[in-house]
Chain A
Amino acid sequence: MDRRVVLQGVASVAAATMLPASGRAAEVSASRRWIPSTGAEIPAVGIGSWITFNVGSDPALLDRSTGVIAAFLEEGGGVIDSSPMYGSSQATIGYALAQLDAAGKVFSADKIWTSAADAPGQLTETGARWGTSRFDLLQVHNLIDWQANLELLFALKEAGRLGHVGITTSHGRRHDELERIMASQPVDFVQLTYNLADREAEARLLPLAREKGIAAIVNRPFRRGALIRGLDREPLPAMAAELGAGSWAQLLLKFILGHPATTCVIPATTQVDHVRENKSVVRGPLPDAAMRRELAAYFDDL
Chain B
Amino acid sequence: MQWLDYRLRDFLLFAPDTYWRLFEQANQAVWPLPLIVPLLLACCLAARRRAGAVPYLVTGLLAAAWAWCGGYFVGRWYAPVNWLATYAVPAFYLQALLLLWFGMFRNGFGGQPVTGARRVVGWTMTAGALLFYPLAALPRGQGVIAGEFAGTAPDPTAIATLGLCLLTRRLTAAACLPIPLLVCAASFLTLRAMESWQAWLLLAAAAATLGVLATNSRVR
Contact = CB atoms under 8 A, between A and B. Distances in A.
A86 interface: yes
Contact of B80 (A52, A85, A88): A88
A87 B25 contact: no
A55 interface: yes
Interface string A208-228: 000000000000000010100
A156 interface: no
A105 B22 CA distance: 31
Interface stretch (B6-14, B100-108, B151-159, B212-220): B6-14
Interface string B70-98: 00000001001111000000000000000
Interface in A136-184: 171, 173-174
A214 to B, nearest CB: 23
A56 interface: yes
Given A57-B80, A58-B21, A171-B6, 20 more contacts: A54-B14, A54-B15, A54-B81, A55-B14, A55-B18, A56-B18, A56-B77, A57-B25, A58-B22, A61-B18, A61-B21, A85-B83, A86-B13, A87-B83, A171-B5, A174-B2, A224-B9, A224-B10, A226-B9, A270-B15
Contacts of A98: none
Contacts of B2: 173-174
A172 to B, nearest CB: 8
A88 B15 contact: no
A10 interface: no
Contacts of B18: 54-56, 58, 61
Contacts of A173: 2, 5
User: Interface of chain A, helix or strand or loop or mixed?
Assistant: loop
B15 A87 contact: no
A51 interface: yes
A87 B11 CA distance: 12
A226 B195 CA distance: 13
For the complex of A and B, list the 5 residue pairs with the smallest distance between their C-beta atoms, beginning with the closest: A56-B80, A87-B81, A56-B81, A54-B14, A88-B80
Contacts of A88: 80-81
A171 B10 CA distance: 9
A85 B21 CA distance: 21
Interface of B: 2, 5-6, 9-10, 12-15, 17-18, 21-22, 25, 77, 80-83
5 contacts: A51-B14, A56-B81, A87-B13, A87-B82, A173-B2
Interface string A84-102: 0111100000000000000
Contacts of A60: 21
User: Interface of chain B, helix or strand or loop or mixed?
Assistant: helix
Contacts of A52: 15
A61 B17 CA distance: 9
Contacts of B5: 171, 173
B6 A56 contact: no
A58 B12 contact: no
Nearest to B83: A87
A96 to B, nearest CB: 16
Contacts of B80: 56-57, 87-88
A86 to B, nearest CB: 7
Interface string A26-59: 0000000000000000000000000110111110
Contacts of B22: 56, 58
Contacts of B25: 56-58
A58 B25 CA distance: 7
User: Which among B9, B18, B22 has the greatest number of chain A C-beta atoms within 10 A?
Assistant: B18
B107 to A, nearest CB: 41
A173 B1 CA distance: 11
Contacts of B17: 61
A55 B81 contact: yes
A58 B13 CA distance: 16
A196 B21 CA distance: 34
A60 B28 CA distance: 14
A52 B18 CA distance: 9
A174 B14 CA distance: 25
Contacts of A87: 13-14, 80-83
Contact of A51 (B6, B15, B77, B83): B15
A86 B18 CA distance: 13
A136 B91 CA distance: 40
A195 to B, nearest CB: 15
Nearest to A50: B13
B114 to A, nearest CB: 41
A68 to B, nearest CB: 13
A279 to B, nearest CB: 21
